[in-house]
Structure 1
């Protein structure tokens, strides 16, 4: 038997008044998922171990069967693997968002979902201006990038920017947990403030403002860690061959450490306009040659972070109609059975615009 997990990131939510007291999952038309529920089994999965922040890195590692206290080293190091950045001993990797600050407040965590082409220019510029032998910036996708410090101390409190939309940014600057980490916290905060000066009037941001778009006028580093000690899925569970399909460096990086084949899909964006049909086709093809496929769709999480109820309902409908349905129809014709699991990793409720650990559905 072969297996596929179809992961709707942040798809779970809470009851919403404008949906008649239903959650987006309950409200959205999902005939394919309904059919799977009729034919199979439904239940709840505790994806975020006690004591861990309900981020996608925690939840997706947990879903894949990893022991979080043993392997967890933050988000940045996993994204580094996807970018081809091999962290060496003594190097600290951090997720580095490009964000939008309005006055003294964080307007959004994504700089208005800046394009990868625009962010590439900005990250290269920051690396030229702020980079050194001990500091390097690496370009990722859209607003999601990587910062590597050499000689840094990871004992830091770094607030994810999506946790504090519309909040003042200064109280959320990096803080040291121990005296030995104070120098690292100071370095990171200095980079944040200097980035704001450099990005304020960059031509990319001048153009974005003229177009009515949010500028990418600050970096925001968070989730520090070092290279994790992770076994592959073959070593852990004897899975013969596995593949991961995602537009998001975090999930692709987990796949690298898990020993999975990372499959690229043209037009996969990590947003609502992603190439759903291409991802479904890639998953079907991967199942022909792999024992296990992990198909990750980011769109519903981004809708939750934006607090956009209508958009979140639409992303769930798209996942059902354009991912679950074609995958189910295809593998139903095969002689070899295929087990299909459809689930979220965590809730990203529209009301609070960030991840939580529990959900209604």
Structure 2
């Protein structure tokens, strides 16, 4: 038996205010599926934890994301067909965003969702393969769909670690999970080592250098 699981990512709403967005929306396709389905609700983690997509999908598939977590960056990299050098590269899920280059204030975390895949590929080309100038570091950037991309931070001579924080202020790392925050200051966050290890600190150095270089390069890109 084959099972097709359709995940309507991002459509979740609160029942505090009725009618909900989905109740108001015109959605004949979803309504037709629902009439032929067994419907219900569940919390992917728990009632207090709004998870990122990777953790939610892992939970739907029967895994406990608090114990088993591959990481969204690696999943995204596999999804676009990119191989990672174990120990020397770390994959990150990234968004092209609108940012003030001086203050680093985030104007829109997803470029208003208006960036085409072609435009994203052109932006990615301009920063793919850049040398970071420290720790033998470099970055690979692969655009996927719309504003989404995969960033591979690597080093030719130092081992790296995924135990680092987000630069997106809307999410915080808690254990193996990346949790959506209810409120946050709209500024690009510096990457910080989660466990204090030397490999994590080196990774943070490279990520922060990448952030600075990318802001400078993309500020003058024709697509901007």
Q: Mark yes or no: TM-score above 0.5.
A: yes
1:169 aligns to 2:187 (yes or no): yes
Greater helix fraction, Structure 1 or Structure 2: 1
Contact 1:115-1:142 within 8 A present in 2 as well: yes
1:198 aligns to 2:196 (yes or no): no
Equivalent residue in structure 1 for 2:150, among 127, 146, 153: 146
1:25 aligns to 2:26 (yes or no): no
Secondary structure, in 3 states, of the residue corresponding to 1:92?
strand
Contact 1:106-1:161 within 8 A present in 2 as well: no
Q: What residue number does 1:188 align with?
A: 207
How many pairs were matched up? 201
1-structure distance, mates of 2:186, 2:28: 43
Q: What residue number does 1:155 align with?
A: 163
1:44 aligns to 2:41 (yes or no): yes
Q: How far did 1:179 drift?
A: 2.7
Task: Describe the superposition over 1:95-116 as per-residue Cα deviations: whole angstroms up to 9, x where unpaired.
Answer: 1221111353111122233111
2-structure distance, mates of 1:202, 1:33: 40
Q: How far did 1:23 drift?
A: 0.7
Secondary structure, in 3 states, of the residue corresponding to 2:128?
helix
Equivalent residues in 2 for 1:37-116 (5 A)?
41-48=38-45, 54-90=51-87, 91-102=89-100, 103-113=103-113, 114-116=115-117
Equivalent residues in 2 for 1:280-299 (5 A)?
none
Q: Which runs of 5+ in 2 are unaligned?
A: 172-180
2-structure distance, mates of 1:182, 1:2: 45
Contact 2:139-2:152 within 8 A present in 1 as well: yes
Q: What residue number does 1:122 align with?
A: 123
Contact 2:170-2:184 within 8 A present in 1 as well: no
Determine which structure has greater relative contact order: mean sequence separation of CA pairs < 8 Å that are 6+ residues apart, divided by chain length. 1
| CA spacing shift, 1:24–1:194, aligned 2, 3 Å | same
TM-score, scaled to structure 1? 0.49
Q: How far did 1:190 drift?
A: 1.4
Bigger-Rg structure (1/2) = 1
Q: Which runs of 5+ in 1 are unaligned?
A: 206-361
Contact 2:163-2:195 within 8 A present in 1 as well: yes
Task: Describe the superposition over 1:165-196 as per-residue Cα deviations: whole angstroms up to 9, x where unpaired.
Answer: 983425x2211123322222122111111211
| CA spacing shift, 1:144–1:36, aligned 2, 3 Å | closer
Secondary structure, in 3 states, of the residue corresponding to 1:203?
coil
Contact 2:129-2:138 within 8 A present in 1 as well: no
Q: How far did 1:88 drift?
A: 2.9
Q: How far did 1:128 drift?
A: 4.5
1-structure distance, mates of 2:126, 2:28: 48
1:11 aligns to 2:11 (yes or no): yes
